[in-house]
Structure 1
Amino acid sequence: MSPSLALEVYTNREVHGTVGSKVTLSCTFWSSEWISEDITVTWHYQPDNSREMYSIFHYAKGQPSIDQTILRDRLQWVGSPRRKDASIVLHSLELTDNGTFTCDVKNPPDVVGKTSYVHLLVYEKAPARPGLILGIIIASALALVILVTILILLIRYCWYRRQIRMQRELSALERGKLHKIKESSKRSSRQTPLLYAMLDQSRKSSDKKKDSRKDRK
Structure 2
Amino acid sequence: MEPSGLRTPCSLLALVLLSALVLTPTLAIEVYTDREVYGTAGSRVTLSCSFWSSEWISDDISVTWHYQPDHSREMYSIVHFAKGLSSIDAGIFKDRIEWVGSPKWKDASIVVHNLELTDNGTFTCDVKNPPDVVGKSSYVHLQVQEKGPARAGLILGIIIAVALALVIVVTILILLIRYCWLRRKARVQRELSALERGKLHKAKDSSKRSSRQTPILYAMLDQTRGKSSEKKAKGGIGDSRKDRK
Q: Which amino acid aligns with 1:27?
A: C
In 2, Cα distance between equivalents of 1:113 and 1:37: 19
Q: Say whether 1:186 aligns with 2:199.
A: no
Q: Say whether 1:212 aligns with 2:235.
A: yes
In 1, Cα distance between equivalents of 2:211 and 2:124: 111
Matched-pair identity in % = 52
Report the 3-state secondary structure (helix = DSSP H, G, I; strand = E; otherwise coil) of the residue aligned with 1:175: helix
Which of 137, 144, 166 is equivalent to 2:189? 166
Q: Say whether 1:68 aligns with 2:85.
A: no
In 2, Cα distance between equivalents of 1:112 and 1:147: 64
Report the 3-state secondary structure (helix = DSSP H, G, I; strand = E; otherwise coil) of the residue aligned with 2:95: helix
In 2, Cα distance between equivalents of 1:36 and 1:27: 18
Structure-2-length-normalised TM-score: 0.72
Structure number, greater radius of gyration? 2
Report the 3-state secondary structure (helix = DSSP H, G, I; strand = E; otherwise coil) of the residue aligned with 1:193: helix
Root mean square deviation, CA, Å: 3.2
Report the 3-state secondary structure (helix = DSSP H, G, I; strand = E; otherwise coil) of the residue aligned with 1:72: coil
Select the structure with the greater relative contact order (CA < 8 A; seq sep ≥ 6). Answer: 1
Kindly report which structure 2 residues correspond to 1:32-47, keeping only aligned pairs within 5 A, or say none.
32-47=54-69
In 2, Cα distance between equivalents of 1:39 and 1:147: 63
Q: Which residue number corresponds to residue 200 of structure 1? A: 223
Gaps of 5+ in 2: 1-20, 241-245
Distance 1:187 1:3, change over 3 A: closer
Q: Which amino acid aligns with 2:98?
A: Q
Which of 86, 100, 103 is equivalent to 1:78? 100
In 2, Cα distance between equivalents of 1:165 and 1:9: 76
8 Å CA contact 1:74, 1:91 repeated in 2: yes
In 2, Cα distance between equivalents of 1:37 and 1:204: 143
Q: Say whether 1:18 aligns with 2:31.
A: no
In 2, Cα distance between equivalents of 1:72 and 1:3: 41
In 2, Cα distance between equivalents of 1:122 and 1:173: 78
Paired residue total: 207
